[in-house]
Chains A and B, each alone.
Chain A
Amino acid sequence: MSAQQIEYNIGYLDEQTKRMIRRTLLKAVAIPGFQVPFASREVPLPRGWGTGGVQLTAAIIGSDDVLKVIDQGADDTTNAVSIRAFFNLVAGVPTTTRTEDATIIQTRHRIPETPLGEGQIMVYQVPIPEPLRFLEPRETETRRMHALNEYGLMYVKLYEDIAKYGHIAKTYDYPVLVNDRYLMAPSPTPSFDNPKLHQSQALHIFGAGREKRIYAIPPHTDVESLGFEDYPFEPQSFDQPCAICGSTGVYLDQIITDNAGGAMYACSDSDHCERTAARADNEEAAS
């Protein structure tokens, strides 16, 4: 492999861009759940692959940080491995797969099973930041609806789900109300993860590169998943334990195992699964 030809600034982005993103991020933290527009830049990965998250991480990362990147819960998928390698190269930061060792966790669509602690920052890669987009396509209108705190349309959508299917059918990107004011899309995380946002100890920041929006949930902030008194929000739940590590109460992936429709269910959080399995093996060996 040839020597690196270009000397990049720390975190890849230039300082002026970082300042612009940083100012945007401060306003996003000050107005929990409100989507702040920003001048999204080009980064060396295609839009839709996490450009918003990458720009946020680039704007906050420093030599004291330890970075973890997950893609659907897994540390070992292409997107996660590439982004970890990218920041290892351009910011010189150590990376980890262990949730509690990380100071910054960039994620695509999962929140780790290991509880987050104070001082950790979750960075979300967001494809569609506007929770009302599929109900109202005009940006001018959705902005107005946020300004007027007018979220009736979303409740109508949830009601129609109940009328049609007997329950609220949304299982990912389940809308939340942040600090009792702004309707927010938690990016397409499964609704299983929604309760983890409420009064979390960590700072959650969301970047949508293609849609040019940044928003945030500070620590210890109320995050309410929408529902009705008689049809309250119900996060997804699973009947069986993980087939690999035996964990219960975690988010499981369905893995098809044969052509006859056979399937196994295993943890989507690879860090949690590996360590739980290793601990079980150790206990078995010790006994």
Chain B
Amino acid sequence: MNTTSTAVPTPGFADPPTEGQRVFRAILDALAHPGRSYRIAGPAQAPEALGTGLAAVALTLFDEEVSVWLHRTAAENPDVTSYLAFHTGARVATGHGSANFVLATPDTLPALDELALGTDDAPHQSATVVLDARTPGVGARFTATGPGIDGQAEIEAPWAPAGFLAAWTRNGALFPRGVDLLVASDDRVLALPRTTRLRAVSDQGQEA
């Protein structure tokens, strides 16, 4: 893993069209089946502050047409900024309020309602949050309902930051506006589109 502060970025995908397509299909499947996790194969190496999972999402979806907000540790890390600039050309947004993509860890996730939420006319112009699930949040278990889910689904969410359920419920109430969430670890991705409704499940398996 690249630990020195060199500005020479680590390599991206060895075969961008093929690997990008596979990662994209995993993300599409994840978004079409909320809460279900799908395997993604990232690049062989990636900046430590991104990890191969977030790097795979970035290489697949980012280019010069998108703006990205990075949490502070990543934003101040030249490995990350040079990697994203070299491989994707994505603009780094100064504020989280206007970014197309928001890269955050559970403890750096901005308030969801401060992000780009789209408008009633153009609800697609909202942010996609890419959450780094390598470090756990406070954790929670949910039952999820909504499009893409047959009946209801159980979601184990060790990545959930404090107050996530309330924030996600507020986000859902904005529909059709609202943000969408991708949760990536080194080799898995799961997604929660804005249409997914969550309810908390307590440790005893009783719905709160």
Binding site for B on A (CB under 8 A): 9-11, 15-16, 18-20, 22-32, 34, 36-37, 59-64, 119, 143-144, 146-148, 179, 181-182, 203, 217-222
| Chief secondary structure at chain A's binding surface | mixed
Number of A-B contacts (CB under 8 A): 108
On chain B, the number of residues with a Cβ less than 8 Å from chain A's Cβ atoms is 37
Q: Which A residues are CB-close (under 8 A) to B150?
A: 219-220
User: Contact at B195–A203, with CB atoms within 8 Å?
Assistant: no
Binding site for A on B (CB under 8 A): 16-18, 20-22, 24-25, 27-29, 31-33, 60-63, 65-66, 119-121, 123-124, 126, 128, 147-150, 175-176, 180, 193-195
User: Contact at A19–B32, with CB atoms within 8 Å?
Assistant: no
User: Contact at B22–A31, with CB atoms within 8 Å?
Assistant: no
User: Contact at B193–A30, with CB atoms within 8 Å?
Assistant: yes
Q: In the complex, what distance in Å separates the CA atom of A25 from the CA atom of B124? A: 10
User: Contact at B124–A31, with CB atoms within 8 Å?
Assistant: yes
Q: In the complex, what distance in Å separates the CA atom of A28 from the CA atom of B16? A: 24
User: Contact at B28–A62, with CB atoms within 8 Å?
Assistant: no
User: Contact at B176–A27, with CB atoms within 8 Å?
Assistant: no
Shortest Cβ distance from A185 into chain B, in angstroms?
A: 18
Our pick among B21, B61, B120 for the contact of A10 (Cβ within 8 Å) is B21
User: Contact at B195–A179, with CB atoms within 8 Å?
Assistant: yes
25 A–B contacts from the bound complex (CB under 8 Å): A9-B17, A10-B17, A10-B18, A11-B17, A19-B62, A19-B65, A20-B65, A22-B60, A25-B28, A26-B27, A26-B61, A26-B128, A27-B126, A27-B180, A28-B124, A29-B148, A30-B194, A31-B193, A32-B195, A60-B25, A62-B25, A147-B119, A181-B176, A218-B32, A218-B193
Shortest Cβ distance from A232 into chain B, in angstroms?
A: 23
Our pick among B17, B24, B194 for the contact of A60 (Cβ within 8 Å) is B24
User: Contact at B21–A34, with CB atoms within 8 Å?
Assistant: no
Most buried by B among A19, A29, A30: A30
User: Contact at A22–B123, with CB atoms within 8 Å?
Assistant: no
User: Contact at A218–B28, with CB atoms within 8 Å?
Assistant: no
User: Contact at B32–A219, with CB atoms within 8 Å?
Assistant: yes
